[in-house]
Structure 1
């Protein structure tokens, strides 16, 4: 259980990072 709790924030961080990079790419596409 404790390992799952420690792993989840990392997964969330990666998910947020991927969404940020995707959003950044979309933003650049909209501007360009």
Structure 2
């Protein structure tokens, strides 16, 4: 089946959100432990 453009955009937004959360968490841990 062909995905709707909105669903594709949502997947990209969710991916960016996960990446941003991971980066924030890594920066937090680095500051906390370092």
For the aligned pair, the TM-score class normalised by the smaller chain equals 0.7 to 0.9
Task: Find runs of 4+ consecutive structure 1 residues off by over 3 angstroms.
Answer: none
What TM-score, normalized to structure 1? 0.74
Consecutive unaligned residues of structure 1, counting only runs of 5 or more, are none
Paired with 1:6 and 1:21, the residues of 2 have a C-alpha distance of: 22
Provide the aligned length of Structure 1 versus Structure 2: 30
CA RMSD of aligned residues (A): 1.2
Alignment of 1:8-23 (within 5 A): 8-23=12-27
List alignment gaps of at least 5 residues for structure 2: none
